[in-house]
Amino acid sequence: MTPRVGIVGAGAAGAGAAYALRGADAEVTILEKSRGVGGRAATRRKNDCRYDHGANYVKEGDERTESLIRDLGEEGLVDVEEPVWIFEGDGEIREGDDDEAHKWTWTEGITQLGKRLLDRTDAEVRKGTRVERIAREGADVGSERSTWTLTDTDGATHGPFDALLLTPPAPQTAALLEATEWDDDRLGALTDAVADVEYRTIRTFVLNYPFREAFPWYGAVNVDDGHEVGWLSREECKDGHVPDGESLLVAQMAPDWSADRYDDPLEEAGADAAKLVADLLDDERYADPEWVDDQGWRYALPENGADGEAVRSAEDAGLFFAGDWTVGEGRVHRALWSGHDAGERIAERD
């Protein structure tokens, strides 16, 4: 019988798992709460601009990352050549120790990562589906005959699945585990291990200007947690993203600022963010953008990783986990490969 695999989340980890399972004899279903795929590797369009408002790019972590990116098709592939510089609390942007790794995106945006991975699979993606409860079912929940069934917020059920992979951020995954019907002593310890992962909250602002200045850097990152701007980058450094003569800055605010101002109105918070950017660039023109967009990421970057032994303790029961929180580093390629590796382990199950 063809094994049925359920994946919660169509971000980099979920798409990576589906990609790893593409050659396996498996029926893969992905449940995604949003209307798109990619998770934080997301792209928007506005006023002839494209911008990556979550993850800025896919960093080349090793040779297999570059190989995979190129295998997905080089048409529209963008490697940001300008370096990432640094600044501290004093706001002086200066050259940093750039490791010269590739910084990949696409002319159509970083959301192409998830789309291209999934386009090479037979996985069914059910968008707009938020999972609310999980149940382990079967005459003997410890046997191969038992399966996983999911219920969404509309009351619809999905499954049964022989294997289940959970990829949402750790707090959301912990909430799902708390709502799981499974009479097994491992569930409590597993839930605690996932809940131990802490996150940084980030509110991102996208600022458009009717002029373009030349800078020697693509992005600048605050390295001492002493500034209210955590990251600033220039989307015009990516081919196909910004019309000629315009500039588009992506400002990711520091975690404390973001948490304090998370629910503030865009007009007010965006104006304050633009002033901070203008101060950082020492140019008052940046305090008055043509238009502003924003996105709040409540669970943007994990501060730590979950205990690996605990996270893998239920794989013999067909319960798997993936995401940047399983490795403790908020990088797209780390999330991607955590999902890919989990997919390979699912494929190897007896």
Q: Convert the pLDDT of each residue in 237-290 to its tens digit.
A: 999 999 999 999 999 999 999 999 999 999 999 999 999 999 999 999 999 999
- Separation between Cα atoms, residue 231 and residue 209, nearest integer Å: 18
Alpha-carbon torsion 341, 314, 133, 347, what sign?
A: positive
Please report the domains of the chain, with CATH numbers, ordered by start residue: 4-38+116-196+305-347 (3.50.50.60), 57-108+199-302 (3.90.660.10)
Q: What pLDDT shows up at residue 349?
A: 85
Distance from C-alpha of 135 to C-alpha of 180, rounded to nearest angstrom: 6
pLDDT above 50 (res 212): yes
Average pLDDT over residues 296-301: 95
Token pair 């999902």 in the structure block, residue:
339
| 3-state SS string for 123-171 | CEEECCCCEEEEEEECCCCCCCCCEEEEEECCCCEEEEECEEEECCCHH
User: For 314-329, how does the pLDDT look when each residue is reduced to its tens digit (9 = 90+)?
Assistant: 999 999 999 999 999 9
Residues above pLDDT 90, as percent of the chain: 91
| pLDDT value at residue 139 | 47
- Are 208 and 246 a contacting pair, CB within 8 Å? yes
Q: Is the Cβ–Cβ distance between 16 and 338 less than 8 Å? A: yes
pLDDT per residue over 113-153, tens digit each? 999 999 999 999 999 999 999 999 874 444 456 899 999 99
pLDDT at res. 129: 97
Pairing status of strand 27-31 against strand 124-126: parallel
Q: What is the mean pLDDT of residues 43-55?
A: 96
Question: Which whole-number Å values give the CA distances from 19 to 14, 74, 116, 143, 340, in the listed order?
Answer: 9, 18, 10, 28, 7
The arithmetic mean of pLDDT across residues 180-203, rounded, is: 95
Contacts of 280 (CB under 8 A, 6+ apart): 87, 91, 93, 220, 227, 229, 232
Alpha-carbon gap, residue 127 to 248, rounded angstroms: 30
pLDDT-derived band of residue 97, with 50, 70 and 90 as boundaries? confident
pLDDT of 99 > 80? The answer is no
Across the chain, mean pLDDT equals: 94
pLDDT of residue 149: 97
Contact 167, 9 (CB under 8 A): yes
Confidence tier at 98 by pLDDT (50, 70, 90): confident
- Band (205; pLDDT cuts 50, 70, 90): very high
pTM confidence score: 0.94
Nearest to 27 by CA among 13, 10, 7: 7
How many Å apart are CA 318 and CA 261, to the nearest integer? 41
Nearest-CA neighbor of 8 among 341, 339, 337, 295?
339
Residue 324: name the closest of 218, 191, 202, 173 by CA.
173
Model confidence at 350: pLDDT above 80: no
Q: In the predicted model, what is the mean pLDDT of residues 318-342?
A: 96
CA dist 122 and 144 (Å) reads: 25
**pLDDT at position 310 over 60:** yes
- % of the chain residues with pLDDT over 70: 97
Beta bridge partners of 4: 27
> Which residues sit opposite 209 in a β-bridge?
247
CB 165 within 8 A of CB 343: yes
